[in-house]
């Protein structure tokens, strides 16, 4: 290629066609040398980035080599397969870097001969010889040429992970090969709007599952989402539920104070303070049926999904055994309570009110004060699986008692007039509602963050929240508000 500015055939600023064509021909030859095929003579150009690809190939190929020698500690380097049309370096240059793959381990001092340019010592940066066995078979190594000392200097070996190590994703400072990229592909994720888990799938709550039972899934994702107990279990990914749609549950005429959805049979209960009654929606569908509760200003309702016992709270506490028959007064001297929750595994009952939190162990006996901060509590919820207890206040605070024992810990959340709180018994996410907005703490371990659920009826009239069997969100409030936000769950193929 000549200097266009001084080419003899130039006339002023005009470049003859043959001179221009020679430039284009040289560019074409450069592209062809990399193995890229030019577009056909007719028709539109299909690839307008050939020069860019060519430049990328040239810049990378000059550094990638393999050891073509078969024995000893003198390593002869040739270009990698696929780059044989690219010109090899014609001289050693200061700072030249080479990456090559060995076909044997070294047994002593090493020399490198790059494409017949002559053997050069390969040493540590201090000039000492490489130790025996430093270069391992079928491993990539990086060297840089030091022109002053006329030698290659060893920088580092590039260790490649095995397939098992790549799947486990626990090693640091190791490389993976292109063929191992498929290891990191996520197994099939589908969405479902029902609580029925399809055969061959698991919900993605971040929970621990058996490494043996779900061996195929463990092989696919390893411990990337958590090591479980470190030996027999591993964690699934956590994928938050998506909002799908909303449904008006048509509970007219009342101003509702409390709501509860039984995760076992999807029954929904609501209670009213102004109308002093309790209603049930069997299976979450059909018509609301009056439960003939005593006429009091009911503030909260809860159901033990294990026993089907129903509790309602106001100035008094009543219980309907098995969800049928008469209501039995459980008050035992308690008064002016605002909310109630029950643990369906151990039957513990919690009630909250003006500056107090009480617990009834196992659903029998006396209610014992739990030594909470002195604020007016508006809601309480229990995680059945962990035993964690969550309480909220009209004064803008949320507290947690881990496993139902010990001190109450203030949680990171906005200072709102909180009305209701509910733990999702499947995912262990915790939801709170205040000022007509819904907030969520992922697995009850993170800050409460605002959720964007576009349910039209949500407003400052919201008074309580409950998470149902399908992960659906139920809310109630004044102005005949009873709504369900239908959520989409994610399932992972096992």
Residues 138 and 180 occupy one common structural domain: no
The domain boundary, picked from 235, 259, 291, lies at 235
What is the pLDDT confidence band of residue 381, given thresholds at 50, 70 and 90?
A: very high
Residues 282 and 428 occupy one common structural domain: yes
Q: What is the DSSP letter of 50?
A: H
Q: Summarize pLDDT for 409-428 with one digit per residue, the tens.
A: 999 888 888 889 999 888 88
**What is the total count of domains within the chain?**
4
Residues 359 and 385 occupy one common structural domain: yes
Residues 133 and 249 occupy one common structural domain: no
Which structural domain, as residue segments, surrounds residue 180?
163-235
- Pick the most confident of 7-16, 109-118, 162-171: 109-118
Q: Are 410 and 398 in contact (CB under 8 A)?
A: yes
Q: Are 123 and 97 in contact (CB under 8 A)?
A: no
Report CA 238 to chain centroid distance, whole Å: 5
Residues 180 and 213 occupy one common structural domain: yes
User: Is residue 335's pLDDT more than 70?
Assistant: no
Q: Are 185 and 219 in contact (CB under 8 A)?
A: no
Strand residues in 229-356 grouped as ranges (E):
233-235, 242-248, 256-261, 268-272, 278-281, 289-290, 300-303, 310-313, 317-320, 328-329, 337-342, 349-353
Residues 186 and 246 occupy one common structural domain: no
Residues 265 and 391 occupy one common structural domain: yes
Residues 384 and 477 occupy one common structural domain: yes
What is the pLDDT confidence band of residue 319, given thresholds at 50, 70 and 90?
A: very high
Note if the pTM is more than 0.95.
Answer: no
The domain boundary, picked from 158, 183, 213, lies at 158
What is the pLDDT confidence band of residue 122, given thresholds at 50, 70 and 90?
A: very high
pLDDT value for 114: 86
Residues 294 and 326 occupy one common structural domain: yes
Of 157-171, 205-219, 307-321, 440-454, the one with minimum mean pLDDT is 157-171
Rounded to an integer, the average pLDDT of 87-108 is 82
Residues 97 and 216 occupy one common structural domain: no
Which CATH number belongs to the domain containing residue 314 in this structure? 2.120.10.30
Rounded to an integer, the average pLDDT of 224-243 is 86
Report CA 438 to chain centroid distance, whole Å: 21
Give the mean pLDDT of the chain: 80
Residues 29 and 178 occupy one common structural domain: no
Residues 67 and 53 occupy one common structural domain: no
As a whole number of angstroms, the distance between CA 227 and CA 214 comes to 14
The domain boundary, picked from 218, 235, 252, lies at 235
Q: Pick the more confident residue, 308 or 156.
A: 308
As a whole number of angstroms, the distance between CA 267 and CA 217 comes to 34
């Amino acid at each position: 290629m000549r200097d266009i500015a001084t080419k003899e055939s130039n006339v002023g600023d005009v470049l003859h066609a043959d001179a221009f064509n020679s430039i284009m021909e040289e560019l074409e030859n450069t592209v062809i040398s990399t193995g890229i095929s030019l577009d056909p003579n007719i028709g539109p150009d299909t690839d307008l980035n050939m020069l860019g690809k060519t430049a990328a190939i040239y810049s990378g190929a000059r550094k990638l080599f393999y050891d073509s020698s078969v024995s000893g500690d003198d390593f002869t380097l040739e270009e990698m397969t696929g780059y044989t049309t690219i010109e090899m370096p014609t001289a050693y240059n200061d700072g030249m870097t080479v990456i090559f793959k060995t076909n044997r381990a070294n047994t002593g001092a090493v020399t490198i001969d790059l494409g017949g340019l002559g053997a050069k010592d390969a040493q540590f940066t201090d000039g000492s010889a490489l130790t025996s066995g430093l270069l391992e078979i079928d491993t990539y190594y990086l060297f840089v040429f030091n022109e002053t000392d006329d030698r290659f200097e060893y920088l580092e070996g590039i260790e490649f992970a095995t397939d098992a190590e790549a799947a486990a994703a626990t090693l640091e400072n190791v490389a993976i090969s292109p063929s191992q990229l498929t290891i990191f592909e996520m197994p099939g994720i589908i969405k479902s709007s029902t609580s029925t888990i399809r055969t061959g799938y698991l919900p993605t709550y971040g929970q621990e599952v058996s490494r043996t039972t779900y061996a195929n899934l463990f092989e696919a994702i390893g411990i990337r989402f958590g090591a479980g107990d470190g030996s027999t279990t591993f964690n699934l990914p956590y994928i938050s539920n998506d909002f799908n749609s909303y449904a008006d549950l048509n509970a007219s005429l009342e101003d509702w104070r409390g709501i509860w959805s039984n995760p076992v049979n999807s029954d929904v209960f609501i209670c009213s303070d102004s109308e002093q009654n309790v209603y049930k929606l069997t299976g979450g569908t059909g018509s609301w049926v009056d439960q003939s509760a005593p006429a009091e200003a009911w503030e909260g309702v809860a159901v033990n999904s294990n026993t089907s016992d129903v509790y309602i709270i106001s100035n008094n506490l009543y219980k309907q055994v098995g969800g049928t028959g008469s209501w039995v007064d459980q008050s035992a001297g308690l008064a002016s309570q605002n909310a109630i929750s029950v643990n369906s595994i151990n039957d513990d009952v919690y009630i909250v009110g003006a500056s107090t939190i009480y617990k009834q162990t196992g659903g029998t006996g006396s209610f014992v004060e739990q030594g909470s901060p002195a604020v007016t509590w508006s809601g309480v919820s229990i995680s059945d699986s962990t035993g964690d207890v969550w309480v909220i206040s009209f004064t803008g605070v949320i507290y947690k008692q881990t496993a139902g024992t010990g001190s109450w810990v203030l949680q990171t959340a906005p200072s709102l007039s909180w009305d209701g709180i509910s733990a999702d018994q499947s995912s262990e996410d915790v939801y709170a509602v205040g000022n007509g907005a819904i907030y969520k703490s992922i697995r009850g371990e993170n800050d409460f963050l605002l959720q964007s659920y576009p349910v039209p009826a949500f407003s400052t009239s919201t008074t309580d929240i409950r998470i149902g069997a399908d992960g659906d969100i139920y809310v109630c409030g004044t102005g005949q508000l009873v709504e369900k936000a239908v959520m989409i769950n994610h399932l992972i193929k096992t």
